[in-house]
Structures are given as C-alpha cells and as structure tokens.
Amino acid sequence: MDRALIQSAAAGAGIELSDEMIRTLDCFIEELKDANQKLNLTAITEDEAIASRHLEDSWHAVPLIPPKASLMDIGTGAGFPGLVLAMVRPDLDVTLLDATRKKVDFLNGIIDNLGLEKVRAVWGRAEELAHDPSLRDSFDVATARALTALPQLVELSLPFVRPGGSLIAMKGEENETKIASRAIRLMQGSLDSVIPYSLPGRDKPRTLVVIRKIGPTPPSYPRRMAVIKKTPL
C-alpha cells in the first residue's frame, strides 16, 4: 500500500503515526491483500477504500480508549478495528475475538510475524465466551464494528466489560440507541455519548456509540444465540 494513504487515513482520524507504525501497518495490509485471495477475509480490496473504510474508520475510536487499557474486539474479522488499534496504541493489551477459525488463524499469523506481544486472537462465539470467568466483566473497553443490530451487540459485548469500563459500538447513520435502551439497561450499562463522524468519499455519516458499564452483568446474559435472534431485548 502507498504509505501516503496510511498517513492520510491517520490524519483524517486525528492521530499521528511513527515511521515504525506506518511500516507495520503497510506489512499488515499487504499480507491481508495476499491472504484475501484465498481466505475471503474482507470485501474491501482497493487501497484507497482500505485506507478510509478500514484504517481511518477504526482509528476514530482512538481518543475514547484510556491509556494502558485492556481491550476486547468482538467479531474482529480481519482485524478491524482491534488489530489496527493495537498497531497505533502499543500501550494497549488487545484480545481479538472471532467465531471463524480461518480468520483467527490468519490473525495469529500476523501477530507472530509482526511481533505484536500484547495482542492475541481467540477463536469462539461471544455468547459462549462471555460466560468464561477469565473473560467476563474484565476488560476496560470492548469494541465492535458492523457486527449486528445494537440491542444484540450490547448483549453480546457488554458482558466482557468490567464495571467502570465502556463499550464502543461503531455504527452507521442510524445509531439505534432508542431500540437498544432496554438491552443497555439489562446489561447494566448506561448510554454515555453518541459521536458522529464522516469518512472521505462516503455520503452517509457514521457514529461511535459509547456505553458505560455501571455494574456486573446478570449471570443469565448473554443468552444462547438462537434465543437472542428470536427474542431480542
């Protein structure tokens, strides 16, 4: 990838990158494009689109993440936003979660190749792993992008967050906060802020929905996926 595109994406998100960060990101994108020919990791394949719709989009969350935070990226896919957040915020401890084994294997290969010691990729389903005592109510921040409707996303994601931490949900023009109010309340969350932003070449705005965790998640949540889909909160 043209490194000027990486720098432009960073400038659009209001962050600065070191030369080493740019080099690491360039290596990652080239490996992603190569692997994508076999693994179908992302539908976005043009360099300009990768820069704006993957990199810049992910980096708009940077100012919302406190220093030295532990972060869980749920439904990370090819590593957006979690992996590219880790690349520009080396102070973070980042866990990348995805239910597709080939994506997790790809990410673990990238993590090893680039020597990202504070990043790990985990294979599993959020609704199951959220009941694991080692993961539940334990992360400072959870992120999720283009995963599902906000009520379901809150039920799947907020159980990973410790009380006092936050969920950063990356949504489109419709932020869905009204229909998610019951889910937020039941997961022991409180709506903190809704932050609009725009990306170059995209007509519709995007939003960051920040939900603060105010208490431990009740043990019955998240429910099984079949129940979540049948009777959303």
Average pLDDT, the chain: 95
Q: Is residue 207 part of a domain?
A: yes
Looking at per-residue confidence, does 118 or 148 come out higher?
A: 118
How many residues belong to the chain?
A: 233
Whole-prediction pTM value?
0.95
State the pairing for strand pair 189-197/206-213: antiparallel
What's the total number of domains in the chain? 1
Whichever domain contains 99, its CATH number is 3.40.50.150
pLDDT band, residue 202 (cuts 50/70/90)? confident
What residues contact 186, with CB distance under 8 A and at least 6 apart?
155, 218, 221, 233
Q: How far is CA 142 from the centre of its chain?
A: 7
Compute how many other C-beta atoms are within 10 angstroms of the C-beta atom of residue 84: 26
Q: What is the mean pLDDT of residues 35-48?
A: 89
Question: Which tens digit of pLDDT belongs to each residue from 170-182?
Answer: 998 887 999 999 9
Question: Which tens digit of pLDDT belongs to each residue from 63-87?
Answer: 999 999 999 999 999 999 999 999 9
Q: Is residue 30 part of a domain?
A: no
pLDDT at 108: 97
Contact 13, 56 (CB under 8 A): yes
Among 188, 181, 177, 232, CA closest to 212? 188
Q: What is the mean pLDDT of residues 188-207?
A: 91
Q: Is residue 37 part of a domain?
A: no
Q: Is residue 192 part of a domain?
A: yes
Q: Is residue 121 part of a domain?
A: yes
Q: Is residue 33 part of a domain?
A: no
Q: Is residue 31 part of a domain?
A: no
Question: Which tens digit of pLDDT belongs to each residue from 145-168?
Answer: 977 899 999 999 999 999 999 999
pLDDT at 201: 79
Q: Is residue 200 part of a domain?
A: yes
User: Residue 158: which domain range?
Assistant: 67-230
C-alpha count within 13 angstroms, C-beta hemisphere, residue 208: 24
